[in-house]
Amino acid sequence: MPLAEYKRKRNFKATPEPAAGGDRGHGIFVVQLHHASRRHYDFRLEHAGALKSWAVPKGPSFDPKVKRMAVQVEDHPLSYAGFEGDIPEGNYGAGHVDVFDSGTWVPQGSVREGLAKGELKFTLNGDVLRGSWVLVRTRGEGRKPQWLLIKHRDEYAGEREADDFVDPDSDRPLPLRERRKVWQDVEAEQVQALDPAARGRAETIDDGPFDPELCKPDTKVPAGDGWLHEAKWDGYRILASIKGLHVRLWSRNRLEWTDKVPELVEALRGLGVKSAQLDGEMIALRDGRDDFNALQGRLSAQEKAPLAYMLFDLPHLDGRSLRELPLLERKARLEALLRERGNPLLRYSAHQVGHGAQVYAQAVRAGLEGIVSKRADSPYRASRNGDWVKIKARRSDEFVVIGFTEPKGSRSGFGALLLARPGKDGLDYVGRVGTGFSAEQLRSLRRDLAGTRIDAAPADVSKMTRADRAAAMWVEPALVVEVYHQGLGGLGLLRQPALKTVREDKSLEDLVKDARGAKPRAATARVQKATTARTRSAATRRATGQRTKTAGTAPGDVRLTHPEREVFPGEGITKADVAAYYRAVAPLLLADVGGRPLSVLRCPDGTGKACFFQKHTGRGWGDHVRSVTVKEKSGSDRYLAVDDAIGVLQLVQMNVLEFHPWGALATDQNHADRIIFDLDPHPSVTWSEVKKAARIVHDALAAIGLESFLRTSGGKGLHIVVPLAPAVPWDEAKQFAAQVADTLAGARPRTFVSIAGEQKRDKRIFIDWLRNARGATSVGSYSLRARAGAPVAMPIEWSELARLRSAAAYDIRSALAKIKRRKRDPWEGFDRIRQTLPSPGAVEARNSSRKAKPKKAGTRSTRRKA
């Protein structure tokens, strides 16, 4: 137990220290100044659900030449990060505790491996401690492990000590504003002292996207002179990256806009900077005011409204990061840059310091969207931390469309859109919107939504009447709209809703992230579980090229490094080809692997050289590759998972070729929702015998009431997959799979073997049932295989088995051709089947019964669908 030692040393009836608790998964660190019997600093890093802790007697030093002793002590609960106060005399660690610094930390590589190796490197993002650091374990003797805390040489290195941030009179940390101000003053002086040539050497950036500072919604305008207030512009958030003459524009969710607005690119190039990152809002002007509908018309070439790029922040300029400077200082530099080298398309977003209530009232009178209030001394942080808040003049929110109703009377298109938003356990219905649409929007939205029809509601619609549910046309939850409304009524439904706009720059995942406070997409798997069964048919349409307008399912552009690199030697298949394949099949692949812990096979130098499996997350995977906590025997670790096409392509960028999912969702890791039998033939077994064996397994499963699905492995054999709903505990799944394998091997010893090992495999097929254990994986449907010819693990109909040429019959090219030709998904209905495991002994009983008449392979089960 990670906190056993911590609890053993404390009497929580006598000390105010927390016994447990704390919100995990945020990557926090904290340093506390502890006036115990010996004054020291406690240095703590979040890992594996606790705070790894070290006592640093002299405190951290910013001088890379100084090595500070750090004695490792017991782990502390995450809730301890906020603890301040007095530990009474007679208790362990008696004395006063102050929080000296806090923030987030980013490890370099595996934390577990670093701790075991005795060298843990990391970056701190705090108010005091910043930049790159390392903990190195020494060989010193003692009851507790001894480490050295060392600052790496970077822009934050210097001769400062932790005690420089402590009031010498009270021996307490300086006020937080003063602690921040030390760094702000230092960095301001450094930036002022740099000439352009020195700036170019100070820091280099690429021209890729960067993570923006995000706003928290609020209903009250912050008061005081510590806040500045800007207009809330009604447009698209655009991030600009400049490196030399290369200018690229990005949306806040990393979709590239460079080619959509070349005039803004030229205007930014005209600034003549060596490098820069700029943050702002792209708007269109109609009658001298910003107009979102005019912007959409301008981007679709239906209108000629002039564009303007309203710039409000400058995180980087000429080789120097400005992120740690106060916002007022960054804005001053931005205003000076635009004044000196500006363009009419590039406009400075002015602000007012203080007087927030008056600024808001003026914005309301002017008909603006509202205002954005920002802490005047805040750094630029890529998070939704409360330093920026938005207050809307007319309330509007974003919702995902889950369906529509038919039009009545002379109206065309549809009657109303049915809306939902992320809730605790998935999507919750919040009402309908039928006003605010143009005639063209009614027609185009109906056309687009018709291509994403599904059979059942993808949300909790218990608030709808039975008649309304019967009349609803359900669609994939992908299209996002922004709606004006007057709050929620008594039933929790929108009051007086009216369409503001269609948000083609937003996806369902954006709504989930916003609802969760920008945490990783922990809720996405729940939403996906509720909708996967209904999206397979639409996924097939997308993969075969039929156009839809479902933002959030389109993969967007993920920048590839070395796209020309040959991945399959001698076959002309490049990394770009691999990305194009996964871009095409991403919706189908995600139906099988999305929302599940993953193992992936990476081939950095192509299949001709070393490839390796990886299941744990690390640095640089991409913002759409999330991590899920998986409990292991020795604690817990963070596993890979993806929920969308961008995540798939970001893994491809990391040279991933194969996707191997768990047989369980990340949200329910203790229950298997599928069982897989992998038919692995000995080289002496003919292909016709493998196909015959697959039919035998199919018929045996059908005889005990289980419907199964067929997939080529892309290797030597075939996979037979049995969906389970409700899911079952792993022990039951493994026991059942072993029972089926043993029974078939006993009944047909010349065909099957159920024991791994080469000694008994000759001329037989191993029924690999071992993949049905917690943590085991099997290759996912539509995954490429790192084998000659770039074969694909391809789902097929049972009726296709007779014509199947081999387990590697489909490759990176022929798989796409087949998907386009076929009329339906061969695994259609996989997620709608309601079936579970039979009682123990049913397999043997059915197998031994001579009267049983198994169903012929190729016919579909008549078992009731959900």
> Is the distance from CB of 582 to CB of 649 less than 8 angstroms?
yes
> Is the distance from CB of 503 to CB of 546 less than 8 angstroms?
no
Give the list of residues 6+ apart from residue 260 with CB closer than 8 angstroms, or none.
Answer: 249, 299
Q: Which amino acid is at 290?
A: D
Return the SS3 of 679: strand
One-letter-per-residue 3-state SS of 463-518: CCCHHHHHHCEEECCCCEEEEECCCECCCCCECCCEEEEECCCCCHHHHHHHHCCC
C-alpha–C-alpha distance, residues 14 and 10, integer Å:
8
> Is the distance from CB of 421 to CB of 399 less than 8 angstroms?
yes
In the 8-state DSSP scheme, what is residue 772?
S
- Whether 865 is catalytic is no
Question: Is 497 exposed, middle or buried, given 0-12, 13-18 or 19+ CB atoms closer than 10 A?
Answer: buried
Give the list of residues 6+ apart from residue 595 with CB closer than 8 angstroms, or none.
Answer: 524, 525, 528, 529, 532, 641, 643, 665, 666, 667
Give the list of residues 6+ apart from residue 855 with CB closer than 8 angstroms, or none.
Answer: 699, 702, 703, 861
C-alpha–C-alpha distance, residues 103 and 573, integer Å:
45
The per-type count for the chain, helices as H runs and strands as E runs, is 18, 42
C-alpha–C-alpha distance, residues 289 and 50, integer Å:
52
Catalytic site residue from 7, 52, 144, 232: 232
In the 8-state DSSP scheme, what is residue 13?
T
Task: Give me the residue label for tokens 């156009």.
Answer: 547
Identify the sign of the CA torsion 188, 190, 194, 197: negative
C-alpha–C-alpha distance, residues 181 and 41, integer Å:
21
Residue 735 φ then ψ, to 5°: -65, -40
Give the list of residues 6+ apart from residue 632 with CB closer than 8 angstroms, or none.
Answer: 775
Residue 334 φ then ψ, to 5°: -65, -45
Give the list of residues 6+ apart from residue 454 with CB closer than 8 angstroms, or none.
Answer: 474, 475, 476, 531, 534, 535, 537, 538
Give the list of residues 6+ apart from residue 609 with CB closer than 8 angstroms, or none.
Answer: 603
Comparing CA positions, the residue from 476, 530, 485 lying closest to residue 508 is 476
Give the list of residues 6+ apart from residue 192 with CB closer than 8 angstroms, or none.
Answer: none
Burial 2-41 (b: 16+ CB within 10 A, else e): bbeebeeebeeeebebbeeebebeeebbbbbbbbeeeebb
Question: Is 398 exposed, middle or buried, given 0-12, 13-18 or 19+ CB atoms closer than 10 A?
Answer: middle
Return the SS3 of 78: helix
- Number of neighbouring beta carbons within 10 Å of residue 849: 10
C-alpha–C-alpha distance, residues 526 and 531, integer Å:
9
Alpha carbon separation from 764 to 197, 228, 367, 752 (Å, rounded)? 72, 75, 77, 5
Catalytic residue positions?
Answer: 232
